[in-house]
Structure 1
Amino acid sequence: MKLLIVAGPPSAGKTAVIRQIIREFRNTGRPAFLKIDVVRAFEDEELISEFGIPARKVYSGDLCPDHMGIMVLQDAIRWAAGLGAGILIIESAGLCLRCTPYTTQSFGIAVLSAVSGSNTPLKMAPMIALADGAVVTKTDLISQAEKEVFRECIRMVSPNIDIIETNAIQGTGMRFLMQAIAKAPEITDADTITLRGTPPLGVCTICVGKKEIGWQHHFGVIRPLDEADNIYRGD
């Protein structure tokens, strides 16, 4: 079974890209789908209705959705494998630009909207830098010059990444992505899958529920305004 992990900010067009992937592989790839979100999601219901594939969702609630996605990934792989799926597609909530969800033994796809601003790739560097391919959606809504600037910003983050420019609703320009997915290797051993990137090295006291403002009230990894980098406060 292949593992595809699709990440990107909200409204970038992740589900539109996934629809095109399912259309391409629904007869040969036996896709299954898992949506990870925080409060509400409807993509699983829509894909079940449209394609009849196995699909489900999971809500993170008070947990970071990208953290929870990693926690449930092995269960998701067992679920999809038990159904005989040939491709498991994970759609992340896309809310965390630091904790990218890509793993070893997966094909990572970063989805970006061309209308989000030319500097957008620079603001979400890890999500692009650790991906196998970058899909730029809504390219029909910008000029050729804007496309070139956007593409160069992606190259500044990841010089060798494959870039696919598309109108994802219609699926134009996605042939290379489908070829890359077809060539992507399958999972060899789910028990040895790990994150590609390094998670944050510390948990701050805000993450565990402390409400006071000001670094003076917090411990662990903190950041005063005039410090150039994180510092550690406490025992």
Structure 2
Amino acid sequence: MKAIVCAGPPTSGKTTVLKHVVKKLKGEGQKVAYLKVDVQYADEDEVFSKEFGIPVKKVYSGELCPDHCNVMVMGDAIDWALAEGMDFLIVETAGLCFRCSPYIEGSLGIAVLEATSGMNLPRKIGPMLSLADIAVVTKIDLVSQAEREVFRARIQEATGDMPVVETNALYGIGIERIVKKIKATPDVQYPLYLKGNPPIGTCTICVGKKEIDWKHHFGVLRPLDGEMFYRGE
């Protein structure tokens, strides 16, 4: 079985892209399962179940970062999809933490970005983009050719030679290249590892300390004028 993780900012078009992907794979007789990881609300699992009749699951991360939640549940999700006899497990994650990577080592990571989100977006989202295997740019019909070229250049600036697929996902234009990459990805290999090293950001804010000002906290700290440093016991 192949595991595919798709991440990207909210409203970037992840679900629309994946609906075309699932439709294409199902049309070829492939068995596909779908997992949605989000913070507090999502109905995409219901959409995929109703539209395609495939096995689906949904997880709310709640007080966990979605990418951290993704790491926690991925082992169970892969075991579930394998037990269901699936050929593909497609994971759609909110991916809201721009310092972490939700992708699995050795499997395909897809970063979906919308062309209308501003020319500097590829410079802002860190490992969500730089550790992906393919970048998908949506809503290309809503920007000029010059803006598309600048956006693509900014992606290449952040990633090197990563493949970039420009798509009008509403009509399924450009989806075939994505499906081809998905089918070419290796099968899941155990043990499972996260792609990239998560940042060390342990701090007292994470455990519920509410005082404002770094002087009241421990762990990895940062003042307004100065570098990050660690203070702890």
Task: Could you list the structure 1 runs, at least 4 aligned residues long, displaced by more than 4 angstroms after superposition.
Answer: none
Q: Structure 1 CA distance, aligned partners of 2:232 and 2:76?
A: 37
Q: Indicate if the aligned counterparts of 1:2 and 1:186 stay in contact, CA closer than 8 A.
A: yes
For 1:22, the aligned partner's letter is: V
Aligned twin of 1:232: 230
Q: Indicate if the aligned counterparts of 2:21 and 2:175 stay in contact, CA closer than 8 A.
A: no
Q: Structure 1 CA distance, aligned partners of 2:90 and 2:189?
A: 17
SS at match of 1:26: helix
Q: Indicate if the aligned counterparts of 2:39 and 2:66 stay in contact, CA closer than 8 A.
A: yes
Structure 1, unpaired ranges of 5+: none
Aligned twin of 2:204: 205
Map residues 137-148 of structure 1 onto 2, 5 A cutoff: 137-148=138-149
Aligned twin of 1:12: 12
User: Is 2:3 the partner of 1:3?
Assistant: yes
1:162-196 deviation per Cα after TM superposition (whole angstroms, max 9, x unaligned): 0000011111022221111111111132xx11111
Aligned twin of 2:179: 178
Could you tell me the TM-score, scaled by structure 2's length? 0.97
Structure 2, unpaired ranges of 5+: none
Aligned twin of 2:77: 76
Aligned twin of 2:115: 114
For 2:31, the aligned partner's letter is: R
Q: Structure 1 CA distance, aligned partners of 2:11 and 2:184?
A: 28
For 1:208, the aligned partner's letter is: V
1:198-227 deviation per Cα after TM superposition (whole angstroms, max 9, x unaligned): 111131111110000000000010000001
What is the Cα-based RMSD across aligned positions, in Å?
0.9
Could you tell me the TM-score, scaled by structure 1's length? 0.96
**Percent identity of paired positions between Structure 1 and Structure 2:** 53
Aligned twin of 1:41: 42
Q: Indicate if the aligned counterparts of 1:3 and 1:105 stay in contact, CA closer than 8 A.
A: no
For 1:118, the aligned partner's letter is: M
For 2:159, the aligned partner's letter is: S
